[in-house]
Structures are given as C-alpha cells and as structure tokens.
Chain A
Amino acid sequence: MKNKITFGSFEAICITITLITTQLFLNLPRSMMEAAWTAGWLLTVYITVLALILFLVIERLYRPFEGKDLLDLGEYIAGNTGRIIVGLIFIFFFLYINPVILREFCENIKIIALPESPLSFVMLFFITCMIIAAYAGLESIVRFSAIIVPLIAGGYIIIITGALRYCDVSRITPWLGNGPYEIFIKGMPRISVFVGIILVYFLYPFIRKKSLFKTVGYRSIILSGIFFFTGVLVFALVYQYPTGTENFLPIYQLSRLVDYGRFFQRVESMFVIIWVASALLHLSINLFLIPYVFKKTFKLKYYKPLILPFAIIVYALAFFPENLTSTIELEKHFRNFAWLVTFLLPIILLSIAGFVKPVEKKGAGKSE
C-alpha cells in the first residue's frame, strides 16, 4: 500500500479548508441567518464544536486502520461488495454536489461579472480548468492549493476588515435569535457545512506521516470554523435580520461596501479573483475524486481515461436545474443530509470494522 505521492500537513490542510469553506463565498452566511436569525454566528460556533467532537470520535476509531481510506474499510468489512457499496455512495455523492456547485458558481459569475456571456460559455471555462487539474492529478491540485489558499485568505481578510466600519452590535441582537431549540437541536444538521472534511478520509493514504491525519482534521475544522465564524458574524453585524436573508452572495455584498476614500473602493473585483480561485480548486478536487473513487471501487488500473467522460457528465448534469433558485434548493437538500455521509457513515464503518475480522483480500485496491 505504498503511495508514490505524499504531501505534508500544510498542503493537506489548505486543500481541505478550500473544500470546506467555499460555501462561505456562496450562501453560508445567509443560510446561517435563515436558520438561527440573529444568532447565526452562535450556530456556527456550535456546529464547529460538534464537528470537532465527531471528528474526535472518528479519529479515535480510525487509529487501528492507519493509512486506509473509506473504500479500504468497506473492503475490510465486507470484501468487494463492501468496497463497491461504499464506493458507489461516494460516487453518487460527488456526482450530485459537483454539478450543483459548478452551476451555482457559474450562475453567480454571470450575475456579478459576466452578465451577457452565455452560461455554457462560462461553464466551459470552469470545466476546462477542472479537467486540466484532474489530469495533472492530486499532487498538483494540493500543491497549488498551498500557494493559492494563503492568497485567498488574505483577500478574505481585506474584505472582512474593510466592512468592519459598517458593523453594529445591535444587529446581532436579540442574542439568541429564534431560540435555543432552533439553534441547538434543529441546527444540528447544519454540521453538513463541514462536508469537505470527507477529503481527509481519502487523503489518508497520501499523507506523509500517518499521525498527521489527526492534525490535518482538527486544524482544518478549526481554521474553517474561524473563517465561517468571522464571515457569518461580520455579515450579521452589517446586515441585520431579516435584511441579511434577502442578500444573494453575502461576502460579495460585503466586498461591495468596502470604500475608503476615493482610491480604495470597488474591491469586489478582488473578490471575483479569490472566489474563482477557490471555486476552481473546489471543483477540481471534486472532479478528481469521482474517477479516482470509481477506479478504486471497480479496481481499474487507470483513472485518467475516466476524467473526460465524468467531466462531460458533470457538465451535462449542471444544466439540469431549471434556474438558479432550483440549484440553490438542490444544494440545500444536499446540506440537510450530507452529514450522514460525512460523519455518520465513517463512524458506522469504523465501528463495524472494529468488531469484525477482515474479509480475505483478493487483490485489494491500492491507493495510487
């Protein structure tokens, strides 16, 4: 099970953060406000703590299975059948969310930057870059993310600090919004915002030191939690409830507010750059994972010939939603249930794997 490609914790953290926090640039601050009204920031803190607790459980359960990803675990439990079932779950999972996110990003680009370009044209740019990235492979994507994520973080910090002058504490009052039940009980499925942590399970075989799995997981959740918290908090401090729930692309709206004198204004152009960079990374890693998981599920020798067909499928599926509203609805459904695959499935698999004897391998899948 030796991998040719390995990378350190920084690269792994960067790519995981990208996968988790891209929603921040889409509609996360708004959806948190819709869920907890004025206490959206509190909900963010709560789900970050929940995600840390669940990851703690997963990490403990994972200890005896060092270096195995979830497909290996499926095979460990139930042989080929287990591997194929787990693999199919993830293929459908990625095939559902990737076209939705692709469509959402491209629609948003159309709204804010390229209003007159056809959607297919905008999407073509994205899909071309995704294909190139997937062909370049995991190592290139991860190493590129290590360069670009600090830049994205810098741009994000400029936007957030630039909007601080519009903040008013009274806008996040009443402090508990629509009540503790809505935040702490009904808000629990919102843990799905950490769906990107799923990448850590697939990166496990590629991480240089296996002990880094823990570091990458915790740090990614904590750093993403900080990004979520600052974004949701500043947005809520600027746009009170219910005004904030009207806003499409909350962080973009914040970037439009930045206006310091006659020279430092219209920084939303910077937003477009960091936004597209983060979207491309997100979509590229997602597109890479589909053929990679497919290859591993069905024990194929190569994954690269699968990239183009899957890219075409993703491109075609992205046109299925009738409009942006339907796309956002599809994403909402996904977010309601994604925690089942992100947190519950690994816990179930690891719990079962802890009790059963491994099924005899017949040429178990190797991580590339």
Chain B
Amino acid sequence: MNRKILFFILPVFLTFFLTACFDSKEVDEKAYVVALGFDKGENNFLKMTLQIAIPSKIASGEGGGEPGAGTAITTVETPTLYAGLNMINTYISKEIDLSHCKVVVFSKELAQEGIHKYIHAMVRGREFRGSMYVAVALESAEEYIQNVTPTLEANPAKYFEMNFNSYQYTGFTGDTKLTNFYLLEECSCRQAYATLVGVNKYEKSHEFDNNNSTYKERGRDRPLEGDFYAGQIPKVYDIKAEVMGIAAFDGGKMVGQFDGQDALYHSMLYGTYQSSHISVPDPKQPENFILLDVKQSRKPSHHVEMVNNAPVNSAEIKLEADILSIQSGINYESKENIPILEKTAEDFLEKGILKFLEKTRPMHADLCGFGRDLKMKYLLWEDWGKVQWLKKYAQSKFNVKVELKIRRPGLMVKTAPAKSSEGDVMD
C-alpha cells in the first residue's frame, strides 16, 4: 500500500525538480563577449571596450559578408571591470557573459602602470577562461578592437583563437594565454609577457615606408619579415588590426616591447617555438637570401652558474630546417656546402638571440626562464629567496649556442641557372 502511495507521490514531487535549474538562463538570453579592451579612462579610471558576438548574424551570414558584421562593439568609462559590465547591462538587451571571451587587450599606457589587479580580477572570476589571450595594444585597446573586422572568418571568437595561435607557425608573438601570464607574473624565477597588437595606418601600398621598422637597430640595410611591431607591418588589407611582437612585464608592469624577430628568438629560448620561415643572408652573396623552413628539434636547454655573485646564463637551442629557396642559386644543397649554410644560419640566429637577451637585462625581465634552472638547484625556499633572482638578472652574462641541421632541400636537390642571351643567370 505504502509503495503504491509512493508511486503516485514521487512523480508529483519530481515535477518540482525537473523544471531545470533555479537560475538557468537560455543561450539566447546572453550577450557573449569575444574581446575585452582596457584603456586608461579620461574622466574615470578605465575605458572598457567590449566586442560582443551576434550569433544570429554569424550563423545566417547576414551582413552580406561585410567585415565585422557578426559583432557589436561598445565602450564605457568605468571605475572597475565589473562596474563597467553593470553599466553595459543597463543598455543592451541581453546579460553580458564572459565565458567565451577570447582575448583581453590592455593599452600600453595602462600596462605600464600595472595590470596585476585586472589579471587577478579575471582569474578570480568564474566566467573568464584561462585559455583567453592577454595582449597589449601599442596605442589604444578600443581602436584595436574596433579594427578587428575578420573577412576570412565569420565567427569572431574563432578569428581571435586562430590569429593569436599564429605564433605556432610564425614565431612572431607567443603563447600568452591568461593562465600562462598569471603564473609567470607571480613566478619568482621568470617574468610574464603578452602579445603586442596594433592598428595599421596604411591605406594604399604606395604609402609604405620603413621608418617604424627596427631594421636599423639590427644593423641591416632593409627590414626582414620580423623587424616590425604590431601596427607597423607594410601591408594593405581589410583588417587593420595586427599581432606582432611581445610586451615584457616586471611584476605586472610593462617594462619593454620586442618586435616580431625578438619574439621569435624568445620563443626559441623559451621552448614554445614550433616552426616558421626564416630568411638568412646568403654567406657568399649577402645581398641575397636563403629561406629556411625551421623547426624546433629539441626543447632548449638552459644552464645558469653564479660567477662572482652574478649569473652566467647559457642556452643551447637545437633546430632543424628544410631549404625553401636559395636566391643566389649557389649549390648549398651539396654535401660540402650544407655545413656552410648551417654555420651561417647558426651565427645569424646566435647574434640575434644575444642581442635580444641583452635587451631584456636592464628590464629585469627574465622572459626565457633562466631562473627556473637556477631554482632547481636549491633545496630550501629560504635559500632561493636570498638569491633575489629577478633583481640579479640585470647583472647577467649570456652564452648562446644554436645548433641547426639542414635536413631536406625541398623538392630540388640543386639549382640550375636560367639561360639567357648573356649566358647563365642565377638571380
């Protein structure tokens, strides 16, 4: 009898609990932010910009393929991050949701003042994901977000994901996910870095100039592909927004910036380098280039020794490469010439890496994790604390050894000259 009563009572009881969660929200009741930008406010502490996805337009392709049609952008001046969200929630119809935010951009000005408190607010927040990228806009975060108008990708979230992941095949930025940034920022043996972003000013290709390139600092007579900061690449394209280079931090404050080439060296030293195309001056005809498709063959090894209370940091980088192009036509594919090419590439990279490391020294920015290797030699935290690594890093000396092996010549095993009326032409 009791069981029969229970049999009838149970469904009634269950009706109260099967009506979904108390605080459930439908997907179409939320406004999903894909990018978040922070600038220094003019009348308040912060200027916050949100790029919000419009799922219906993304799904239907509405907007006629117009770049950026799948998003809405809003900017608000606010005292804090969450206060800003509250303010925005008063004038948009849906509730802001940050669980699909892919990138957070800080203006350089704000980053130089320190972003630790904002990073902490995000790490504490349930909605923010550790997989979103941290970036620094060389000018304004608002301007950068406004200029993200993807053409090849309808889904803005996917655009950010893929664009910020491009370091895997260019090496010109880095793995600057929020989790990485947060962990590095609080580490006693390394410093954090963020992707540099910017907005390109060129409207027509005849406006291109190299004034903003870093090639002169590097002693070159023309820029190589990585000798630019974000926003300064000589290019004309629908999307004005760019990623190129990294920003260095010391204790949550931005202390310096590095161009794409330095970001490449950083990733080689840090171990996040995967592959990229690298142009190396021809050893016999320096006005020509040899193009290599370089890959990391082993993780870099670091070694730190304290000599007279100053660190001597050594790094060994192991790479392998395939030949993509030999402009001079000299037969570097031959067994005799391969070592010459390897040595040239090694020297070229070693020189660049040493220059990069020298630049990090006055910034106290151990971006490559030399301190990590020193820390592993200690038994007690107390002893490690006395080293004051991040302070001592400024006295560092560096030794770098690059080992590059040419593995494959591409689809050609040698270069034959073109025949002209004046004889053989190799250029």
Contacts and interface: CB of A to CB of B under 8 A. Distances in A.
A111 to B, nearest CB: 7
Interface string B20-33: 01110000000000
A257 interface: yes
B131 A174 contact: no
Contacts of B383: 174
Interface string A230-242: 0000000011111
A64 interface: no
Contacts of B161: 262
B22 A38 contact: no
Contacts of B183: 238-240, 243
A240 B126 CA distance: 21
Contact of A121 (B22, B131, B179, B186): B22
A240 B187 contact: yes
Given A240-B186, A243-B186, A174 B379 contact: yes
A243 B120 CA distance: 11
A240 B186 CA distance: 9
Contacts of A176: 379-380
Given A117-B21, A178-B381, A179-B382, A111 B373 contact: no
Interface stretch (A68-76, A153-161, A163-171, A191-199): A163-171
B303 interface: no
Nearest to B127: A115
Contacts of B373: 170
A118 B375 CA distance: 46
A112 B127 CA distance: 9
Contacts of B23: 114-117
A173 interface: yes
B21 A174 contact: no
A256 interface: yes
B189 A174 contact: no
A321 interface: no
A243 B182 contact: yes
Contact of A241 (B22, B372, B376, B381): B381
B169 interface: no
B343 interface: no
B45 interface: no
A343 interface: no
Contacts of A117: 21-23
Contacts of A169: 376
Interface string A205-247: 0000000000000000000000000000000001111110000
Contacts of A187: none
A351 interface: no
Contact of B380 (A115, A166, A179, A256): A179
Given A174-B380, A179-B382, A166 B179 contact: yes
B237 interface: no
Interface string A171-186: 0011111110000000
Contacts of B384: 173-174
A98 B182 CA distance: 35
B129 interface: yes
B21 A114 contact: yes
A175 B379 contact: yes
Q: How large is the interface on A (under 10, 10 to 19, 20 to 34, 35 or more residues)?
A: 20 to 34
Interface of A is mostly: loop
Contact of A178 (B130, B182, B375, B382): B382
B379 A259 contact: no
A178 B379 CA distance: 9
A288 interface: no
A38 B381 contact: yes
B378 interface: yes
A168 B186 contact: no
A349 B379 CA distance: 41
A238 B378 CA distance: 19
B379 A256 contact: no
A339 interface: no
A265 interface: yes
B184 to A, nearest CB: 10
B375 A170 contact: yes
A173 B377 CA distance: 8
B38 to A, nearest CB: 22
Interface in B115-131: 126, 129-131
A173 B179 contact: no
Interface string B342-383: 000000000000000000000000000100110110111111
A173 B376 contact: yes
Nearest to A175: B379
Contacts of A38: 381
A275 interface: no
B376 A114 contact: no
B129 A256 contact: yes
A37 interface: yes
A175 B186 CA distance: 19
A177 B378 CA distance: 9
A173 B179 CA distance: 20
Contacts of B131: 259, 265
Interface string A48-83: 000000000000000000000000000000000000
Contacts of B375: 170, 173-174
A257 B130 contact: yes
Nearest to B186: A243
Interface string A117-131: 110010000000000
Contacts of B179: 166, 257
B381 A174 contact: yes
A222 B177 CA distance: 37
Nearest to A256: B130
Contacts of B379: 174-176
Contacts of A262: 161
A38 to B, nearest CB: 6
Contacts of A168: 372
Nearest to A247: B123
B186 A242 contact: yes
B378 A112 contact: no
A176 B377 CA distance: 11
Contacts of B130: 256-257
Nearest to B13: A128
A256 B179 CA distance: 10
B378 A174 contact: yes
B126 A112 contact: yes
A214 to B, nearest CB: 38
Interface of B: 21-23, 126, 129-131, 161, 179, 182-183, 186-187, 189, 369, 372-373, 375-376, 378-384
11 contacts: A114-B21, A170-B375, A174-B381, A174-B383, A178-B382, A179-B380, A240-B183, A243-B183, A259-B131, A262-B161, A265-B131
Given A117-B22, A243-B182, A265-B131, 8 more contacts: A115-B126, A117-B21, A169-B376, A174-B383, A177-B381, A240-B186, A243-B186, A256-B130
- Going nearest first, the 5 A-B pairs with the smallest beta carbon separation are A116-B23, A174-B378, A170-B372, A117-B22, A243-B186
